[in-house]
Amino acid sequence: MAIVPSRSGKTPQGPSRPSGAGPSSGAGANHPVPQSPQRQVEATVEEKGHADEALRPHRLGDYIGQTDLKQVLHIALEAARCRQEPLDHLLLYGPPGLGKTTMAMVLAAELTTRCRITSAPALERPRDIIGLLMSLEQGDVLFIDEIHRLPSMAEELLYPAMEDFRLDLAIGKGTTARSRTIDLPRFTLVGATTKAGSISSPLRDRFGMVHRLDFYNPRELQAIVERSAKLLQMGVQPSGAQAIASRCRGTPRIANRLLRRVRDYALVKVFPSIDEQVVAQALAMHRIDPLGLDPSDHRLLRTMAQQFEGGPVGLTTLAAVLGEDPDTIETVLEPYLLQIGFLQRTPRGRRLAPPAYDHLGLIDLRLSPAMDQRLDGQLPIGF
């Protein structure tokens, strides 16, 4: 079971090196490898701890974006402090990479308590969730990721734990069975999911606050890139941060990932500062265009434009032509293309929108009168 305790306001540190261990001990200690002064880089925050943990904010004021959610949580935190009670249970839902785990850790830091992190698939057996709940202390924050995948037995045990802070256990079997109630310390459960509709109504109704995390706008993403670059001790110009922000699909996790790839490129090519041109050159090697579309996106769009004349085309037919799983197309590729208006879902199937043709530099054959007449009464491709 993946449970990571986190102290408020502290970044996890790497293990200390034993005395006498390291590059200076053992064979070859008297012959260090020479390094160019331009390649010699000081230890950054990322090298002192886990890469993702190093870039996470630890206070609500440092959390960029999600303004409406932060206002609600600020009021809830102040009220909890005044009452000297734990925060009410919170359910966060939305696409992956928007900061649900980070928000749980920020709440623990604001409440000066621990954050226990686990995921629903790790709680396979009832004893897993029982042991986790009994290990909690007063005021702890329990974060369960992908909570919609929680087993039914674990979910049933959570009901009294969330409402009355107790565990109702059945001991024994048959005529010797008896029930036992164990009191639990008051805690805050933060659940995260990418599929809010898959959570059962009894579980969803037990959360005092339910909020959706939205995609970030370019200005917020640029601020996130500039903050991460400062933590990584990188020199990034505003044009470079803006170029990365325009390619990260509205997601901070992708922004930090692209920033690391640009950092590697700038380090090897010995660029003193990262501007728009450096970002374009670095991400062109990974075949990521200015809108953040990768080769899989381009392949989907070009297939629809060239083989199916822009659609409509059925999902199963499109998956067979691309050699992809239908769920991969529907959950990984389509959401961003729908968001930027390149793709349309209609009752007849998927269709390319005019902006997609402009981006690909192709001509929309559907605009010709002959094509319009031929499409009248045509059955959707793939049905």
Task: Confirm whether 100 is a catalytic residue.
Answer: yes
CB 258 within 8 A of CB 247: yes
Burial of 93 (0-12, 13-18, 19+ CB in 10 A): buried
Task: Confirm whether 127 is a catalytic residue.
Answer: no
Task: Confirm whether 253 is a catalytic residue.
Answer: yes
Give me the catalytic one of 11, 194, 303, 331. 194
CA-nearest of 292, 299, 244, 233 to 267 is 233
Question: Cβ neighbours of residue 315 under 8 Å, at least 6 residues apart?
Answer: 326, 329, 330, 349, 350, 382
Read off φ and ψ for residue 88, nearest 5 degrees.
-65, 155
Indicate the residue type of 339: Q
Give me the catalytic one of 113, 114, 116, 145. 145
Give me the catalytic one of 56, 116, 249, 253. 253
With b meaning 16 or more CB within 10 Å and e meaning fewer, what string describes 245-278? bbbbbbbbbbbbbbbebbbebbeeeebeebbbeb
Task: Confirm whether 251 is a catalytic residue.
Answer: no
Burial of 10 (0-12, 13-18, 19+ CB in 10 A): exposed
Q: In terms of DSSP H, where are the helices of 12-63?
A: 45-48, 51-55
**Coil vs helix vs strand at 44:** coil
Largest CA distance in the chain: 81
Read off φ and ψ for residue 236, nearest 5 degrees.
-120, 125
Give me the catalytic one of 100, 247, 249, 350. 100
Dist. CA 148–CA 188, nearest whole Å: 18
Question: Cβ neighbours of residue 150 under 8 Å, at least 6 residues apart?
Answer: 120, 123, 144, 158, 203
Task: Confirm whether 317 is a catalytic residue.
Answer: no
Instruction: State how far the alpha carbon of 217 is from the alpha carbons of 87, 98, 224, 294, in Å.
Output: 29, 12, 11, 20
CB 194 within 8 A of CB 145: no
Other beta carbons less than 10 A from residue 236's beta carbon:
26
**Coil vs helix vs strand at 193:** strand
Question: Cβ neighbours of residue 252 under 8 Å, at least 6 residues apart?
Answer: 64, 65, 97, 98, 99, 216, 221, 224
Residues designated catalytic: 100-101, 145, 194, 253
